[in-house]
Amino acid sequence: MKTTFKKSVLAFLTCVLALAFALTGCSSGGKDPKANFVGSWELSGGTLEGEELTDEYMKMLEDWGVHCVLILDEDGTGALDLFLEVVDLKWEAKDATTVTITAEDESHDMKLKDGKLILEEDDGNLVFTKSDKDLSGTVKKDREAAEKEEEIDEAVEDDDVQKIEISPAVTVADDDLCTITITEKFKDEWGDIGFVVNITNKSDKDLTFYAPSGKTNVNGTMKEPWFSAHLMPGTNATEEFTFSSGELDSLDDLVKHDHRHRRLPDRFLRGRRLLQRNHRVAVDHDSRGLADTSAHTRRGRRS
């Protein structure tokens, strides 16, 4: 009787120990790797085309209201809100440190390292940091804004586009540095009105032209145009000097246009292209004309 009891106790203890080891194994090695990735991630740095995305650039994007957000939902779906364009995606955790993102029939692996989610590309990488907030509301607003923009574009008919040649063309600057000529006025598919401008850089330096705020009036009324162009030495370009939709009612409003130049100190020179920094050379014109040839950081018009 005692022998039978001892055997039963030993058998019971053996089962308990075996179960304990099994549960321990499950708890240490069976954690779902998806948990490492679920949530909202914000772009916090990296490199793009060889240029570092510094804290200064991140602050600039924030000031512009431009969001770079990656949402990974628990069901394997998500969204990428990159510079005000939202793309739906699917994702899958390959292991505890690798997630595969698939969007628009393209798949990319992202690596989790030191709490950062990193997308490696040939020309650089994007680094995302997990947010302690749910940013799905931000993505929703950007999606709605993008959809509204598309609706506006679709509502505009092709016959609303207008082009009127200016003959003879008007030369507003011509010196040792550059020649600037206005050849046409237009109304584009978005309802924006403006001039077509030809620029030739005759100098041996890079030149950046832009329209500074508070320096332009049309028929005596102050207006805020958009203009930006960068030219390497000895090159030419055709660009648009544009007034956003609502600034002017029609091409007939483009009369008595006056734009004044100013020179900025070299320390204010900054490349216009989003997420790419280049230092330029400031140039001064004494006469009134179309372009101020100092670089200026300002949000661009839609492309």
Write the pLDDT tens digit of every residue in 143-171: 988 887 776 666 555 556 788 888 888 89
For residue 12, pLDDT over 60 is answered with no
- For position 114, which CATH number holds? 2.40.128.280
Distance CA 49, CA 110 (A): 19
Give a yes or no: residue 284 inside a domain.
Answer: no
Give a yes or no: residue 55 inside a domain.
Answer: yes
Confirm if 293 and 283 have CB atoms less than 8 A apart: yes
Confirm if 91 and 76 have CB atoms less than 8 A apart: yes
pLDDT tier for residue 246 given thresholds of 50, 70 and 90 = low
Structural domain total, the chain: 2
For range 34-56, the mean pLDDT: 89
Give a yes or no: residue 147 inside a domain.
Answer: yes
Query: Do both 42 and 96 map to the same domain?
Result: yes
What is the average pLDDT value for the chain, to the nearest integer? 73
Domain boundary among 104, 121, 155: 155
pLDDT at 275: 27
Q: What percent of the chain has pLDDT over 90?
A: 31
pLDDT at 27: 41
Predicted model pTM:
0.47
For residue 176, pLDDT over 70 is answered with yes
pLDDT at 153: 62
Give a yes or no: residue 7 inside a domain.
Answer: no
Query: Do both 48 and 86 map to the same domain?
Result: yes
Query: Do both 107 and 169 map to the same domain?
Result: no
Query: Do both 149 and 67 map to the same domain?
Result: yes
Query: Do both 67 and 140 map to the same domain?
Result: yes
For residue 66, pLDDT over 50 is answered with yes
Query: Do both 42 and 107 map to the same domain?
Result: yes
Query: Do both 235 and 195 map to the same domain?
Result: yes
Domain boundary among 155, 174, 202: 155
For the chain, how many residues are written? Answer: 303
- For position 171, which CATH number holds? 2.60.40
**Listed ranges 51-65, 123-137, 251-265; the one with the highest mean pLDDT:** 123-137
Confirm if 42 and 68 have CB atoms less than 8 A apart: yes
Distance CA 191, CA 209 (A): 24
Neighbour order of strands in the sheet with 257-259: 221-223, 216-218, 257-259
Q: What is the pLDDT of residues 251-302, one digit of tens each?
A: 666 654 554 433 332 322 332 232 222 222 223 333 233 333 333 323 333 3
Q: What is the pLDDT of residues 217-244, one digit of tens each?
A: 676 767 777 788 889 999 999 998 887 6
pLDDT tier for residue 303 given thresholds of 50, 70 and 90 = very low
Query: Do both 83 and 185 map to the same domain?
Result: no
For residue 249, pLDDT over 90 is answered with no
pLDDT tier for residue 13 given thresholds of 50, 70 and 90 = very low
Domain that includes residue 38, residue range: 34-155
Give a yes or no: residue 21 inside a domain.
Answer: no
- The DSSP-derived string for the chain is -HHHHHHHHHHHHHHHHHHHHHHHHHHHH---GGGGT-EEEEEEEEEETTEE--HHHHHHHHHHT--EEEEE-TTSEEEEEETTEEEEEEEEEEETTEEEEEETTEEEEEEEETTEEEEEETTEEEEEEE-SS--HHHHHHHHHHHHHHHHHHHHS-GGG-EEEEEEEEEEEEESSSEEEEEEEEEE-TTS-EEEEEEEEE-SSS-EEEE--TT-EEETTEEE-EE-EEEE-TT-EEEEEEEE-BTTBSSGGG--SEEE------GGG----STT-----B----SS--S-B-S----PPPP-
For residue 42, pLDDT over 90 is answered with yes
Distance CA 99, CA 108 (A): 8
Give the closest residue to 281 by CA, choosing from 173, 178, 196. 178
pLDDT at 5: 40
- 207: which strand partners? 231, 281
Confirm if 131 and 40 have CB atoms less than 8 A apart: yes
44 Cβ contact list (under 8 Å, min separation 6)? 58, 116, 127, 128, 129
